[in-house]
Amino acid sequence: MNKFIDEARWEGNAESLANHVKFWMKIKQIGDPSFEPNERLVRDYVARGILSKPSRKGKEAIFGFRQLAQFLACRALIEDGWPLNKIAEDFEVSSIEEIIKLIPGEEIKNEALSLIENFKKDEMSSISRYSSGLEKSMEPELPSFLKRQKQSYSSKSEIKEVLNRIGSDFSNVIKEDFTAYQLATWLLLFIDLDKAKSITREDAEDIGRGVTAALLNQSSLTKSDRSLYTDRIGEISHLESQVRKSHLELEYNTKQSEDLKIEIMRSRKLLAEMKEQLRNFKNSKFRPDE
């Protein structure tokens, strides 16, 4: 059975790294099997800071185990919805052990620790970067990548279920930026942040009149009215969806009908030609000799 930790001594150029990544992505079942890593993507990941800079042998860039682990961990995180800039940011403060743990099915066991230690000693060009990253990752205000990852996984997996439990009609959390104007200890006015930045005197006066009208309105909607209104909006939205679906089905059936009419016309024409040929054949067969 292939063990990723056995690759601790691996090294190669950009093309070799791309091919090796493809091999391990297939074994680890990471992402779309048709995905093809290439040299261009390797260079792009280096430029973004996702892959640490390779060492040099003459004019050729040489990659190693660290970059292989980073590439595989990156592809696994992309499949979970992580943006590249966030991956690069967290790889800067993540140890090689933390990055390996991000690869599906990989756990750092005792027998693998000596291999990793030897790998660190051999990678002299990356020790300073790793050490500084390790120091940063130990700062209390900067939790480790794995902790942030687990928190994110938990949030992403639970959010829809939680919204359903509280009766929300949203499929995800909607983030809005508001600014608050506290006019009194008992009075707060919330306005959309973008609108507040561009508000005019006329807008402010209209808001004031609107607040006045709302406070003095004796026929304001009750909770039951709002619930009924929300239900009807949901019903209308459902009906609109059904209408759109019906329109699509109608368009499809119309197209099928037109195609069928064309096929029938072709068949009739072919049948007429065959009848004509049959008549000609009979006439020629039974014609008296001259």
- Whether 137 has a pLDDT exceeding 50, the answer reads no
Same domain, 205 and 237: no
208 with 240, same domain? no
Residue 172: the pLDDT is: 67
Residue 233: the pLDDT is 81
Whether residues 242 and 135 share a domain: the answer is no
Q: Indicate whether 162 belongs to any domain.
A: no
Exposed / middle / buried, residue 103 (Cβ in 10 Å: 0-12, 13-18, 19+): buried
Question: Which residue bears the tokens 């992309």?
Answer: 78
- pLDDT score, position 158: 60
Q: Answer whether residue 172 is part of any domain.
A: no
Report whether pLDDT(71) > 90.
Answer: yes
Instruction: Report strand pairing: 60-64 vs 11-12.
Output: antiparallel
| Boundary residue ending a domain (137, 153, 169) | 153
| 22 part of a folded domain | yes
Residues 6+ away with beta carbon under 8 Å from 178: 190, 191, 192, 193
Q: Tell me, rounded to whole angstroms, the distance of Cα 9 from its chain centroid.
A: 33
Which pLDDT score, from 0 to 100, does residue 2 have? 65
Residues 264, 271 contacting (CB under 8 angstroms): no
For 95, 106, 129, 169, 213, the CA distances from 144, given in Å and listed in that order, are: 9, 17, 16, 35, 53
Residue 156 has pLDDT above 50, yes or no: no
Are 211 and 238 in a shared domain?
Answer: no
Whether 198 and 236 map to the same domain: the answer is no
Mean pLDDT across 95-100: 90
Are 45 and 141 in a shared domain? yes
Same domain, 113 and 198: no
Mean pLDDT of 150-175: 61
Residue 171 in domain: no
Q: Is the dihedral of CA 124, 125, 131, 137 positive or negative?
A: negative
Helix (H) or strand (E) holding 153: helix 145-165
Asked whether residue 132 is assigned to any structural domain, the reply reads: yes
Strands 187-192 and 178-184: antiparallel
Is the same domain home to 93 and 129?
yes
* 207-230 confidence digits (pLDDT tens): 888 888 888 876 776 777 777 877
Q: Please return the burial class of 168, using the count of CB atoms within 10 Å of its CB with bins 0-12, 13-18 and 19+.
A: middle
Tokens of 6: 């056995």
CA 197 vs CA 156, 183, 193, 248, 262: distances in Å: 33, 18, 6, 43, 61
Residue at a domain's end among 193, 216, 239: 216
pLDDT reported for residue 55: 93
Q: Are residues 197 and 245 in the same domain?
A: no
Output the pTM of the full model: 0.43
Q: What are phi and psi of 176, to 5 degrees?
A: -125, 140
Torsion 27-29-32-35 (CA) sign: negative
Give a yes or no: residue 134 inside a domain: yes
Domain final residue pick, 166, 189, 216: 216
Q: In whole numbers, what is the pLDDT of the chain averaged over residues?
A: 79
If one counts the domains in the chain, the total is: 3
Percent of the chain with pLDDT over 70: 73
| Same-domain status, 237 and 211 | no
Domain containing 265 equals: 230-290
Q: Which residues face 62 on adjacent strands?
A: 55
Same domain for 272 and 138: no
Q: What is the pLDDT of residue 119?
A: 54
Nearest residue to 99 via CA among 121, 128, 132, 77: 77
Write down the pLDDT at residue 216. 80
